[in-house]
Amino acid sequence: MSIQSVLSRIEQIQDRFDSFWANTVSVKQVIKGEEGEKSSFQKVLKEVISGKGASDYSSLINTYAQKYNLDSALIEAVINTESDFNPEAVSPKGALGLMQLMPATVRELGVTNPFDPAQNIEGGTRYLRSLLDEFKGDLPLALAAYNAGAKTVKEQGGIPPFKETQDYVKKVLGDYRGGGFNGGGR
């Protein structure tokens, strides 16, 4: 398939989404890096090009969200924020896989392969459920603990004053509640 036919197909996809987003960007703007923060089309385009997104993992997400009594949209928002749906992601701090589980958490949860999407999503979902239980259903605190650790959240008496953690909580909640994430797996 030539690059022209790929670009043509992308333009067709964008045309189909234009009715949903009044402020979309063109494929040419995305390619030139001029897209800014205008719309969700960027994420859709990235998913189309990479072939990855929530829909690739929707069955796993739905299975484990149901098993641990969580909203699948919340799990999608966490995965989107943590790894942008990259099952092979490794953070500079050593977090692994889709839900960016730290090695100690991997061991604690009994995950044998953190790069296996099923194990990672189950482990991350179970871990998030345990944090929600620990923080009595307070989602912002549970998300802060997912990012910075439960001990840190307790020591700080709330969401820690770390820019990374505060931005993380805002991003996940924004994607979850505000629909900023549109990965198609819901």
**pLDDT tens string 64-106:** 999 999 999 999 999 999 999 999 999 999 999 999 999 999 9
Judge whether 125 and 105 are in contact, CB under 8 Å.
Answer: no
CB atoms within 10 A of CB 113: 12
Residues 6+ apart with CB under 8 A from 186: 54, 58, 72, 73, 76
pTM: 0.70
Handedness of CA 46, 1, 3, 21 (dihedral sign): negative
Q: Does 186 score more than 80 pLDDT?
A: no
Which tokens sit at 161?
């004053």
Share of the chain above pLDDT 90, in %: 65
Active-site residue set? 82
Judge whether 113 and 119 are in contact, CB under 8 Å.
Answer: yes
Query: What are the Cα distances from residue 26, in Å, to 21, 40, 108, 141, 180?
Result: 12, 12, 46, 38, 19
Low-confidence winner among 42-46, 98-102, 168-172 (lowest mean pLDDT): 42-46
pLDDT of residue 4: 67
Q: Which residue bears the tokens 């800014």?
A: 36
How would residue 56 be classed by pLDDT, with cut points 50, 70 and 90? Answer: confident
Mean of the per-residue pLDDT values for the chain? 81
Q: Does 6 score more than 90 pLDDT?
A: no
